[in-house]
Amino acid sequence: MSWWHDPTLIQSLYVVAFALFIYGLMGLTGPKTAVRGNQIAALGMAVAVIATLLTPGLGNWWLILLGVAIGTAVGVPAARKVKMTAVPQMVALFNGVGGGAVALIAWVEFRHGFGDDPLYVAIASQFAAVVGSISFWGSNIAFGTLQEILPGRPIAAGRVQQPLNLALLLGAAACAVGIIAGGRSELLMIGLLLACAVLGVMVVLPIGGADMPVVISLLNAFTGLSAAAMGLALDNTALIVAGMIVGASGSILTNLMAKAMNRSIPAIVAGGFGGGVTGAAAVEANGDRSVRQTNAADAAVQMAFAKQVVVVPGYGMAVAQAQHAVAEMAELLEAKGVSVLYAIHPVAGRMPGHMNVLLAEADVPYEQQREMDEINGEFTRTDVALVIGANDVTNPAARTDPNSPIYGMPILNVDASRSVIVLKRSMSPGFAGVDNALYFDPKTAMLFGDAKSSVSEVTAELKAL
């Protein structure tokens, strides 16, 4: 056996690989080191792949090459071409295929049989199959919802939902137990994968778009855990460490996001946020209230003579690709001596930090982007709050109306500023399906239209002033 097939060398390279993962992730804690951190983690992955290819007795090289070639051909253009606004659904998709890979590997392991392997190998492998396939199907549904292939409003099967989900989970578990106990029928494995597929779809489908970031994060943690379980089954340290780190980090991130929305994870997974009776009742109750409309010229004058303008971006800005137009407008305002700040809600957009990424893309200085706790005190000193495609995160009902589904969610206190201009496509309620009392506030003026063209019109008016 050649020296490069030495298991000690391969194991040592794995140690190098996960040291690089951890060091890389540490780099991600600050924007200055983050790019390098990500590259270091990628280097770790390269080391891990090379180490694996040194495994003695490895064959099927052409097929391995084929798989890698297909993956590269699909993954590279997808990552290169995706618009920054569509990153959340891209993450969902990348996450899903990871889970899918785990489930497929577990299937083949089952076909090989667990023979003389200790019991825990079969248990870990079946756990990986269940969690991996739930993650795969759930992520695809999350992708569909965010890409607006599927409706953003929750779709629910009603009262049968919970018992049905439980039955599916029990069915999958029964198949897994059958396999662990030594069952060799392929129907067991197919039954398990099918039950998990339906379960993944059923669990994520009723979850509205507003909760989707939390779900993607949760599924990210799931895929990590399934990879770790697969590592136990294959006795592979690199898989165990990398999978578990992702499992742990994903869980924390999920928790942070759920907290920012004042939602509990079980409540989110139980589904049905927004829609239904509450939403319909709220719309009716607001039926006879009127909103005040403004135009680009008035909005431009109002902001040009303000001391401080706070921009509140939301998903609408992302959809309209308006970040560059917004940055240009802000520069004009600053040239006129207006102080411009950006108020960023932790869950604005479809992911925490989503707005920061978009604003960074448009070269908005980091120090103008303020987090919720810092900016909320500023609103009383603000002359104009410019809400661009943000909805639920500005809704005062979260503070005042205990019956509102979003009651208790920390919001940006936009209504404390002297005047508010809301850029919005139409009066349709937000992703959570809740009507926004801010729009009916007498000091609020609505500027209807596509966010990007509205901002461009305002910019043109500012130039003409």
Partner 1 sequence: MLVQNLAVLVLAGFVGYLVISKVPNTLHTPLMSGTNAIHGIVLLGGLIVLGLGAHGVLEKILLVIAIAFGTINVVGGFLVTDRMLGMFKSDRPNRTDQ
Catalytic sites, residue numbers = 392
Site for partner 1 in 303-332 (CB under 8 A): none
Is residue 41 part of the contact set for partner 1 (CB under 8 A)? yes
Is residue 244 part of the contact set for partner 1 (CB under 8 A)? yes
Of 1, 8, 32, 290, the residue at the interface with partner 1 (CB under 8 A) is 32
Of 47, 85, 89, 109, the residue at the interface with partner 1 (CB under 8 A) is 109
CB proximity list for 446: less than 8 A, separation 6 or greater = 291, 292, 293, 294, 421, 422, 424, 439
- Phi/psi at 308 (nearest 5 deg)? -135, 130
Of 118, 182, 287, 402, the residue at the interface with partner 1 (CB under 8 A) is 118
Site for partner 1 in 331-390 (CB under 8 A): 344, 346, 351-354, 356-357, 360-361, 363, 365-367, 369, 371
DSSP symbol at 366: G
Least separation in angstroms between CB 153 and partner 1: 24
CA–CA dist 361, 82 (Å, integer)? 14
Judged by beta carbon, residue 298 or residue 361, the one nearer partner 1 is 361
Closest-CA residue to 135 (of 68, 58, 44, 230): 230
Is residue 117 part of the contact set for partner 1 (CB under 8 A)? no
Of 4, 7, 9, 58, the residue at the interface with partner 1 (CB under 8 A) is 58
Site for partner 1 in 63-82 (CB under 8 A): 63-64, 66-68, 70-72, 74-76, 78-80, 82
- Per the CB < 8 A criterion, the answer to whether 407 and 396 are in contact is no
- How many CB atoms within 10 Å of residue 360? 16
Least separation in angstroms between CB 29 and partner 1: 5
Least separation in angstroms between CB 316 and partner 1: 18
Judged by beta carbon, residue 25 or residue 297, the one nearer partner 1 is 25
Closest-CA residue to 207 (of 221, 217, 195): 217
Judged by beta carbon, residue 101 or residue 176, the one nearer partner 1 is 101
Judged by beta carbon, residue 38 or residue 453, the one nearer partner 1 is 38
CB proximity list for 367: less than 8 A, separation 6 or greater = none
Taking phi over 0 as left and psi of -120 to 50 as alpha, with beta for the rest, 82 belongs to beta
The partner residues of 447 in beta bridges, in order of sequence, read 423
